Structure 1
Amino acid sequence: MMKWSRKSATPDAGTAADPQPAPTRAERRMIAVSSGKGGVGKSTVTANLAASLVQQGLRVGVVDADIYGPSIPGMLGIPANTPPAMTPDRKVIPAEAHGIKVISMAMLSDDDKPAILRGPMVTKYLQMFVAQVDWGELDVLLLDMPPGTGDIQLTLAQAFPLSGAVVVTTPQDVSLKIARRGLRMMEQVNVPILGLVENMSGFTCPSCGEVTHIFHKGGGEAIAADLGVPFLGAVPLDPGVVDSGDAGAPLVLSHPDSPAAQAYRAIATALAGQGGGAAGLSVPFDWNVAQGSGRPGGAAPVAGGAAEVPVALDLDETGLSIHWQDGAESLIAIRDLRLACRCASCRDEMTGAPLLDPANVPLDIAATRIWSVGNYAIGVAFSDGHDTGIYTFKALRAMESAEVEDV
């Protein structure tokens, strides 16, 4: 365990404004199941992983985040257009099937009524699905993401504390190339990649047992090795997937001995054994520095850890100390942090030229509050009243003003 070289403020169970305890590593894991393109069977993978995790004794929820094309309720046998009930404190009660709790846009609209929504309304629904649902005690919350790398994906990746992402692809080259983009997007917003799943990986003849690789072979494993992420497994084509999905019973329940069901269970076992993914700061957090409350919990550095994943924050008169997962420590003076702000009032939005006059920043400026911004950045409020800057972990690692040694 690393020992820090600075004195720390005593952690507290929240802030004066929001007395909620900071999450711990033992609490719910939020895992995105994503894909670069549609048609790769991502929702089918999500439904079967959820059922497999329940079979392993975990408490599981699923957010059907594909607002425009929700399919999870049908795959789990949950009737569409059945508005969920509400708790007395106005939280949504999720539907439940096969031991899996579910929230989806399909519960709020008819099959023949498309969700015609602009971006802000989509974001509002997603925030409600995650934060305003009475999930109860969960071990894992799976987010069945829509395909692509657009606004919905960024909203979920940046606004919520994702433990990691599972990327689903098929063996053909076009799908693999787009899967790489999806992986890179998650990496850019500091969402750990828990692994890659190759779906529709060969067809086993039910009569003779011969395997035919319709969409090529081994591409998913090769991409995973090339990008340095875990390869969770290959799921073969199985006609039972269609029948079980239409019947509302995941394949792992309706055809438990099939090769595809065995593959799903192996992938779920691998995910369950990964713990919380790449350990970093416990998010969300809201650290009131003056009161010494809400300081985030952290983790220890690990061998081969990421350079842009912070595991602990410390603050004293010398500046903000950030301990990184790869074992390094950065020390950034608070005045340097204030001068580096890139918000619209401090930088020209078109040219990036600084608008802030250094002469107007006091030499003794202090940080009064530090909070998490999704999984990729922190916000900082300063003693001069400025509080609109967002500092990404990537930018913080790049601007380190000093290196200090561990003791």
Structure 2
Amino acid sequence: MQTTDHNQQQQHAPGASSQSAVGPEKLPGIRHIIAVGSGKGGVGKSTVSVNLALALQQLGACVGLVDADILGPSIPGMLGIPTDEPPAMTPDSKMIPAERHGLKVVSMGMLTGDDKPAVLRGPMVGKYLKMFVGGVQWGPLDYLILDLPPGTGDTQLTLAQSMPLSGVVIVTTPQAVSLKIARRGLRMFEKVQVPILGIIENMRGFTCPHCGESTDIFRHGGGEQMSREIGVPFLGALPLDADVVTCGDEGRPIVVDQPKSVSAKVYSTIAAALVEQLHAAVATLKPFVWKWDSNEGAPAWLEDAARPAGARNTPIGLLRRDPRTLSILWEDGHRDDFDVRDLRLSCHCALCIEEMSGRKLLDPKTVRADVSPRQIRSVGNYAIGFDWNDGHNSGIHTFNDLRALGERAAAESIENV
């Protein structure tokens, strides 16, 4: 295996292409998919999702909203969307989203009604989530906002593994317990290579409408401090506003009902900051299924996106350099050339590595010398999966692991000189 510094020696790959920082469509017709998450419930995440989506729309964008809290949907009530009739379907069995205030919306509440619980196991939750994104006739969208349930469970992992997220916005309140749990949620998204677009601090302070005195009920500035400590953007702080609650309960989001209010103006500022973050983000690879031998479906090689300050574990190009070599170009300009048999031997799945002890179960002698991929597929934003010609297909290689593998090989090469 070889490694090179792309900033010192550029090599143009066949069929190489460049992209703008805005990047390609994440799904057909959808430019950006943005998750809104939090580590815990009760921080106003759904209220933020609704009003942020409407604020983006007021900037001139076409916006869709998915209520991704399959087991606890709340978006229809906040937008005043009736739930007594199921959504219509197109002739090709795609769901037609509801529309309210120009916003296209899909929610489990539109399928179950107001008081009927959705009692589902994890795999079914993932199935509905995928249907709400890929099985809906959205039409052209600039932004698709996903209002996530709290926590770091099945829904979040399904999203990270199966959908090309542009990034996630983390919502927290200033209180210490909320900040601590929000930090965990943020780290989870970092671990699966989902960009953190920013932090929003909700319920920062309450201003009495009678005397004008401000009170920090949930403390003050914790979200801003967390953003500085972690090194992610701070998008803005929302006040604790009784009108936000009233408008949400009555299906009239404050951004459209009281556009001149303090809260509505803050949402507009946050939406503008979010757009700036998306435009500043590096171009990333589109999802792919790549047939190795024929090179059909090969991902792009975006060498124009390489920059010295780029992320070390974000790939901006994958290339079949020859039948035995997979090349990966990283955003920081570094390139690794992997022998495909080395990748097969480095598989970390439960069949190859004992999960608890880390003991290797795969005997290199049992892996044929001519082993090679049948196909390589993207896994969310954080890994690639292999279907090998020896029948093995249960493992994935995260980008963190691939970069570390390249560094180990480079160190061993130097030692052997």
- Give TM-score, length-normalised by structure 1: 0.90
Aligned pairs for 1:353-392 (under 5 A) are: 353-392=359-398
Q: Which residue of 1 aligns with 2:314?
A: 309
**Residue 272 of structure 1 pairs with residue 275 of structure 2:** yes
What is the rounded CA distance, in whole Å, between the counterparts of 2:126 and 2:159 in structure 1?
Answer: 9
Pairwise CA RMSD: 2.5
Three-state SS of the structure 2 residue aligned to 1:190 is: coil
Tell me the equivalent position of 1:333.
339
Task: Check whether the contact 2:7–2:307 (CA below 8 A) recurs between aligned residues.
Answer: no
Per the alignment, residue 394 of structure 1 pairs with 400
2:181 to 165, 170, 178: 178
Aligned twin of 1:88: 91
Identify if the C-alpha distance between structure 1 residues 23 and 236 changes in structure 2 by more than 3 Å, giving closer, same or farther: closer
Correspondence for 1:121: 124
Q: 2:40 is matched with which residue: 37, 45, 49? A: 37
Q: Deviations over 1:167-206 (max 9, x none)?
A: 0000111111111111101101111000000001111222
Query: What does residue 288 of structure 1 align with?
Result: 291
Deviates more, 1:89-98 or 1:367-376: 367-376
Task: Please tell me whether the aligned partners of residues 30 and 144 of structure 2 are also in contact (alpha carbons under 8 angstroms).
Answer: no
Cα displacement (A) at 1:124: 1.2
User: 8 Å contact 2:197–2:278 — kept in the other structure?
Assistant: no
Question: Where does residue 220 of structure 1 map in the other structure?
Answer: 223
Taking every aligned residue pair, what percent have the same amino acid on both sides?
57
Task: Check the 8 A contact 1:10/1:292 in 2, yes or no.
Answer: no
1:91 CA displacement:
0.8
Distance 1:258 1:204 in 2: 13
Q: Which runs of 5+ in 2 are unaligned?
A: 1-5, 18-23
Q: Which runs of 5+ in 1 are unaligned?
A: 13-20
Give the secondary structure class of the aligned counterpart of 2:112. coil
| Equivalent residue, structure 1, for 2:3 | none
| Contact 2:204/2:218 (8 A) holds in 1 | yes
| In structure 2, distance between residues paired with 1:121 and 1:237 | 36
Tell me how far 1:358 sits from its aligned partner. 1.7
The structure with the greater share of residues assigned to helix is 2
Q: Secondary structure at the match of 1:96?
A: strand
Q: Are 1:145 and 2:148 an aligned pair?
A: yes
- TM-fit CA distance, 1:361: 2.7
CA deviations 1:72-109 (Å, max 9, x no partner) are 11111111232111111111111111111111010011
The answer to whether the 8 Å contact 1:332/1:402 transfers is no
The CA deviation at 1:31 is 0.6
Match of 1:16 in 2: none
1:226 to 1:22, Cα distance in 2 relative to 1, 3 A: closer
1:132 Cα offset (Å): 0.9
1:55 corresponds in structure 2 to 58
Tell me, in whole angstroms, the C-alpha distance in 2 between the residues paired with 1:243 and 1:130.
30
Aligned to 1:192: 195
Does 393-402 or 224-233 show the bigger shift? 393-402
- Indicate how the Cα distance of structure 1 residues 183 and 292 shifts in structure 2: closer, same or farther if over 3 A, else same: same
Amino acid at match of 1:153: Q
Structure 1 equivalent of residue 204 of structure 2 = 201
Residue of structure 2 in register with 1:160 after alignment: 163
Of 258, 267, 271, the residue aligned with 1:255 is: 258
- CA change 1:135–1:4 in 2 (3 A) is farther
Specify the SS of the correspondent of 1:225.
helix
Q: Distance in 2 between matches of 1:6 and 1:26?
A: 32
CA distance in 1, matches of 2:126, 2:27: 26
The residue identity in structure 1 corresponding to 2:60 is G
Work out whether residues 314 and 321 of structure 1, in 8 Å CA contact, stay in contact via their aligned partners in 2: yes
Q: Report SS of the residue matched to 1:197.
A: strand
Query: For the residues of structure 2 that align with 1:351 and 1:216, how far apart are their CA atoms?
Result: 44
Paired with 1:212 and 1:141, the residues of 2 have a C-alpha distance of: 35
Report the 3-state secondary structure (helix = DSSP H, G, I; strand = E; otherwise coil) of the residue aligned with 1:226. helix
Q: Could you tell me how far 1:305 is from its partner in structure 2?
A: 2.2
Superposition deviation, residue 394 in structure 1: 1.1
Q: CA deviation at 1:315?
A: 2.1
1:112 CA displacement: 1.9
1:342 corresponds in structure 2 to 348
Partners of 1:289 and 1:332 in 2: how far apart? Answer: 14
| Helix, strand or coil at the partner of 1:168 | strand
Residue 375 of structure 1, CA deviation: 1.6
1:49-94 Cα deviation digits (max 9, x unpaired): 0111111111101110111211111111111232111111111111
Match of 1:323 among 321, 329, 334: 329
Q: How far apart are 1:11 and its partner, in Å?
A: 7.4
Shift of 1:25: 11
Q: Tell me the secondary structure at the aligned position of residue 237 of structure 2.
A: strand
Contact kept? 1:256, 1:262, Cα under 8 Å? yes
